[in-house]
Each structure stands twice: as structure tokens, then as C-alpha cells.
Amino acid sequence: MDIYAHSKLQIISDDLAKTTVIYIEEDEPLRSELNWLLLTHVDNVYSITNCSEAFEILDSVKVDVIIVSLNEKNTTKSLEFFKYVKDTFKEIITFSITEPDRSDDLLKCISIDLDEYVIKPINNFKLLLKLDKYAIAKNEHELLEQYTINLQAKIEEALDANRNQDLIMQQQSSQAAMGELINSIAHQWRQPLNSINLHATNMLVDIELEEVPTVLLDHTNAIISLVKDMSNIITDFMEFSRPEQEKSEFFIHSVMTTLSKMLESQLFSKNIKLSIDIDSTLKISSFKHPLEHTIINIVNNAKDVLSEKAMEDKEIKIYTSEESDTIKIYIEDNAGGVPEAIIDKIFDPYFTTKPKGIGTGIGLSMVRDLVTNKLNGSIEVVNINGGALFTITLSK
């Protein structure tokens, strides 16, 4: 080999060495010559005389390239073999080598969409360049596949971490909501329990004074009525906590009335007025409980801020507006509004303005998730009239 030829072969990439080639040639001298050329650059070369031998190799080895030399005797079988390879092993690159005076063979190879066509006499350097081109492409494809696998693994890892984080947030939110529920029940039960205790004490006094049965009956009926009210409170809270599988149609005013009963004792104890101005005929088809959780979270957030204010006339307003295909629910307070520097962050997970150990930063984040993911709506907040205005937009 002369120096020029040697320098040309030096530009062949190392990727070619990793390629597995089947070379089929009936002409012994030509097969030996090309086999020697391939082995100088390719580690795995199967040099055979006919297509039948190739089937056994294909069954046991991952082949990258098949080169078949066609002649007058083997053209039909070779083309059938090529079709089989193209149909069965779509990733294998197919080369045909044809005689210069057999243009029909070349056209037949083109008709079955082979990848490369070589006409004798073979230019060794061009053949190697063609093989090298596919070897480089194969290596880049494998690198890309590996990169994709690694990327998918990292994405799955990140998603798992996010899912775990979401689960923690949901658990913390549930615990916080449970605390609010228990606190609300305690507030709403305090007065009835005091009344029951008073009636029971009066009954004991009446018995000692030998009062008439009608007086005792009045006390008994009063206790029964109070216990019934307490039972209704528990029913309301149980309904509030029950998960929903399907949407239902309900009156928004009815939902707000129920929530008002749940919240009134806590708000009253903080000297906060809750005003509800909603059309009693306004209906929506949605998930009721996520909407209830959303409203309670926002109201509780406003309650916490108002509780810290030394002011008169503390108030939270809930009202609605209706458009052709949407309903907007507004929750407005007069607690001074959200500082402009943080108003874009208040829905972010774990963002809180409360002291460490008091605020978790999950309430409003869960509100956004409930509105966007469960209710398929949107939520925004602006400052207005000396307070914050939350707007929830839902489809009818």
C-alpha cells in the first residue's frame, strides 16, 4: 500500500472497529481480498460464500452491516435474502455489490430500497468511507439512546421526588386542615355543651325542689335539641371531609352557608365579620369538597392576618359574578393587602410570611393545586380597597 493510500485510510474513525459485518461473496479471490481489507478496520467480520450461511449468524449475533456481492447465479436468492433482512432487522444496513454490465441487478436493488450500492471494481477507500459513515451514525444513535435513557431516569427520579414532596405537602395540609376542623368543632360545641351542662344542673335542682314533671320535660327537650344540633355539626364536618369521585351539581350559596356555620365561631372569637352575598339560585357542576377546602384555606389565611390587626370592623366578604360560561368567586378582606414584593410568590410551595414553626407555606400552594388540578379553574390575587382580593374562576 502506498503512502497516499495509507494516509487516506487513517481518516477512518474508530467507530468502524466496533461494527459487526457479514460479507457474502462466492468469488474466493475477491472474498479473500475484501475480507483482508475489512479485517484491518473491523473487529468482527463474517466472510461467507452464500446467503444460507447468514441465517445462522443472524440468529446468534447482533449484526450491523450485510454486504452481498450479486452475480448472474445468485441474484434472485440474494434479493429475497435482502427483503427478509429489511423486513426482520430494520436496523441492519444493507450493501449490494453488482457487476458493471448488470444494470438490471442494480435497479432491482434500488427497488427494494437497499441502503448502499457498490459497482465493481470496488474502490476500497470509498467502501470503507461508506461503512464508516454508518458506523459513526450508529455510535451517535447509541450515545443518544443512552443519553435518553439516563435523562429519562433522571426525570423519573425528579418526578418521584416531586411526588414524594407533593405527598408530604398533602399530608401536612391534611394535618393542618384536621387541626382546623377539630378547632372549629371545639368552638361550635363549646356553647351547646355549656347549655347542656346548665340544663342538667337545673334539672338536679328541680328534682331536689320536687318541681313538676313539665319543668323537667322542658329541660330534657332542650338538651335533646342541643345534642341534635351538635350531631348536625359532626355531620357537616364529616361531609366536608369525604372524598369525591365524580362531579356534582350544587348551589354555591348552599356551600357557603355550610362553610359559614363551620367558621362563624372562630371568626366571632376574633371579632371578624363574614359577609356572604351570593345569588341563591347560582349553580355549578364541579367537585364540592375541593371548593370548600379552597374557600376555608383562603378565609383562614385572611383570619390569621386580621387577628394580628388592632382595628375595628374586621371583615371578610365572599361574593360572585356570573358570565356566559364561567363563574367567579371572590374572597375579599380588609387586612391591608399582600406586600407587592411577595404577591407573586404567595402560591409557591413552602412560601410563608409567618414566623418559623407557625407557618408551613402549604395552605395557598394547595389552594392553587386544588383550583387548577381538581377544579380545572384559575386563581389570582390583587390588592384592592385596603385588603386582598382572591378571585377563583371556574367553568360552569
Instruction: Profile the chain (396 residues) by mean pLDDT over runs of 10 residues.
Output: 44 83 92 90 92 91 93 89 91 90 86 88 87 86 84 83 68 61 65 72 71 69 73 64 76 90 82 93 90 89 89 93 93 93 84 53 75 92 94 93
Is the CB of residue 38 less than 8 Å from the CB of residue 122? Answer: no
Q: Which of 260, 182, 189, 200 is nearest to 227 (CA)?
A: 189
Burial letters 129-151, b for 16+ CB under 10 A, else e: ebbbebbbebbeeeeeeeeeeee
* Amino acid (1-letter code) at residue 213: P
Domain boundary pick from 100, 122, 144: 122
Same-domain check for residues 250 and 384: yes
14 in a domain, yes or no? yes
56 in a domain, yes or no? yes
The predicted structure's pLDDT at residue 363: 66
364 in a domain, yes or no? yes
Phi/psi for 359 (5° steps) reads -100, 135
The predicted structure's pLDDT at residue 273: 94
The predicted structure's pLDDT at residue 159: 78
Domain boundary pick from 105, 122, 139: 122
204 in a domain, yes or no? no
Strand partners, 46: 22
Residue 16 burial (CB count, 10 A): 24
Q: Find the angle CA(84)-CA(59)-CA(111) to the nearest 5 degrees.
A: 15
174 in a domain, yes or no? no
The predicted structure's pLDDT at residue 120: 87
Q: Domain range holding 88?
A: 3-122
The predicted structure's pLDDT at residue 178: 60
CA 21 vs. chain centroid, Å, equals: 44
pTM attached to this predicted model: 0.48
Radius of gyration of the chain (CA): 41
The predicted structure's pLDDT at residue 221: 75
CA distance 13 to 136: 8
Could you tell me the CATH number of the domain that includes residue 267?
A: 3.30.565.10
* Close Cβ partners of 9 (under 8 Å, ≥ 6 residues apart): 1, 40, 41, 125, 128
164 in a domain, yes or no? no
CA distance 251 to 1: 92
Cα-Cα-Cα-Cα dihedral sign, residues 299, 305, 308, 311 = negative
Structurally, the chain folds into a number of domains equal to 2
Domain boundary pick from 122, 146, 175: 122
Same-domain check for residues 250 and 391: yes
The predicted structure's pLDDT at residue 237: 61
Could you tell me the CATH number of the domain that includes residue 23?
A: 3.40.50.2300
Residue 224 burial (CB count, 10 A): 12
Residue 350 burial (CB count, 10 A): 12
335 in a domain, yes or no? yes
47 in a domain, yes or no? yes
